Amino acid sequence: MATEITDAELQKLLSERLSQNEISKRTGIPRSTLRRRFQEMGVPKVYKGVHLGLSMGTPPPVAITEAWDELTELLDWWRSRKRALQMDGDTEQETERKTYHVQKRYIEAIQRASDLEHVSITEIVNLAFAQFFAERK
């Protein structure tokens, strides 16, 4: 009978990287029973369609290696953005959402500056306002 398959035999099928569907077909064990048995065996859950093929000591996929500098730059930008947003107690740095009508060319320029400087659009707009009002004094 299919349920008489030992845990060792199930582990061997798992080590062959067979899906639960394939193991179910080969052994005749219903998938619900397999899930329960795997849980009892302490087999970690596998999420549908997700397998990165990474383990300790395995070199990263080529795509990650090629994009490493860009990923590092993105991470640095994200961390500095988080730090800027976490300035606690500084009420001068507090922001509020407000709508202003701006010429399209400035909207595009603000976006470009934000991308080039790796800062938020809010920071670019605040710098522009600060410069404008500093000149008025």
Q: For the segment 77-94, what is each residue's pLDDT rounded down to a tens digit?
A: 888 777 766 655 556 667
| 129 part of a folded domain | yes
Q: What is the pLDDT of residue 11?
A: 86
Q: Is residue 103 part of a domain?
A: yes
Choose the weakest-confidence range: 29-38, 48-57, 76-85, 97-106: 48-57
How far is C-alpha 95 from the geometric centre of its chain's CA atoms? Answer: 27
Query: What is the rounded end-to-end Cα distance, in angstroms, of the chain?
Result: 89
* Shared domain check, 71 and 36: no
For residue 50, what pLDDT is reported?
A: 47
User: Which tens digits make up the pLDDT trace of 104-137?
Assistant: 999 999 999 988 888 888 888 988 888 988 888 7
Reduced to 3 states (helix: H, G, I; strand: E, B; else coil), residue 104 is: helix
C-alpha to C-alpha distance for 83 and 123, rounded to whole angstroms: 13
Q: 25 is written with which tokens?
A: 């077909």
What is the domain extent for residue 122?
62-136
- Exposure of 17 in the CB half-sphere (CA atoms within 13 A): 5
Q: Is residue 25 part of a domain?
A: yes
Residue 109's pLDDT is 92
Count Cβ atoms below 10 Å from residue 21 Cβ, excluding itself. 10
pLDDT of residue 137: 75
